[in-house]
Structure 1
């Protein structure tokens, strides 16, 4: 699977934004320490933009910016042969066709290294009035595992948005049992309750999540 395959499996922008917000809320409950979280969501990244992000703690990450222009997503898999640090520069096609309305994100310092090099192996975008997600025209290298740009791994919980997929992933990542009904509750964007929070993490309360709920923009009622 490549970023082209991922792009074909993503929903419309509003649905993806809500799903990313729910992933961040789930991780906020499961991992109260922000530094240890896998998924995050800042619904006030700027006055007009929200950003979803993922960091796996091993050097792989993604960021998705939701703006009035649409949505722009970039991912970085540090072991990919398409890494700019392996390929001695940006892999041809990854960023070449990004529309002008998203160019600021290509050059965004938060998505670049100290030399201004965009840290990216996979990129996709969808303009607000477009009917689908798009990628550049890329000649992918052949790799044994079939994930040359890391997109399959990076975006796995965005292509399979089921509660069961999150439960499997979270039980492996956090190494604790994960309550499927509570996961479904949050993925459905239903307001948090003390019972749902306790089912996922008995060591935190709903009141203690107030700051996270506000930052994520998760619905309170």
Structure 2
């Protein structure tokens, strides 16, 4: 699987943004400690932009910028043979075709190392009004466990957006049972209830989530 497959499996921009927001809220409930979470969402990243992000704590990460121009997706798999640290810069084709409207995302310091090099192995974008997601024309290296640019692992919960997929991931990561119906409630972007929160984590209360729900822009009753 490569970023080309990811481009076929991602939903349109609004649906992706809502799903990313829900992933962040699910983890805010499951893990009161922010540092232990994979997923986050910032509805006020700038005056006109929102961002979703994933960091696994082992070097793999993605960032998604949602703006009036559309959406820009950057992924980095640290063990990928396409890592810029193995190739004196981004792999040919990964960033070469990014539209000018997303150039600030390519050069964004938060997505680059201290020398200004973009930290990326996979990139997608979709302008407002586009009928689908785009990627660069890339000559991928020979199969690296079938995932040369890291897309399969990086974007697994974005391409399979089912409650079952999140449940399997969360139960493995948090080593506890996670209520499937409660997951469905959050993935549907429905306002939280005390019951839903308790079923996900009996140690968390709805009132204690107010700040994080506001920061994520998640619907509230």
* Shorter-chain TM-score tier: over 0.9
**Residue 117 of structure 2 aligns with which residue?**
117
Q: Is 1:79 aligned to 2:79, yes or no? A: yes
**Post-superposition shift, 1:88?**
2.2
In structure 2, the partner of 1:205 is: 205
Please tell me whether residue 173 in structure 1 is matched to residue 161 in structure 2: no
Identify unmatched segments of 5+ residues in structure 1: none
Q: Matched residue of 2:40: which SS?
A: strand
Aligned counterparts of 1:207 and 1:13: Cα–Cα separation in 2: 30
1:109–1:70 distance in 2 versus 1, CA, 3 Å = same
Residues 159-182 of structure 1 deviation map (CA, whole Å, 9 limit, x = unaligned): 000000000010011111010010
Partner residue of 2:93? Answer: 93
Residues 27-56 of structure 1: CA deviation (Å, up to 9, x unaligned): 100011111110000011111100000000
CA offsets 1:5-46 (integer angstroms, 9 cap, x no match):
001111110010000000000010001111111000001111
CA distance in structure 1 between the aligned counterparts of 2:200 and 2:26, rounded to whole angstroms: 8
Partners of 2:128 and 2:35 in 1: how far apart?
A: 32
CA RMSD of aligned residues (A): 0.6
**Structure 1 runs of 4+ with >4 Å offset:** none
Distance in structure 2 (CA, Å) of the matches to 1:2 and 1:151: 5
Counterparts in 2 of 1:1-221, with a 5 A limit? 1-221=1-221
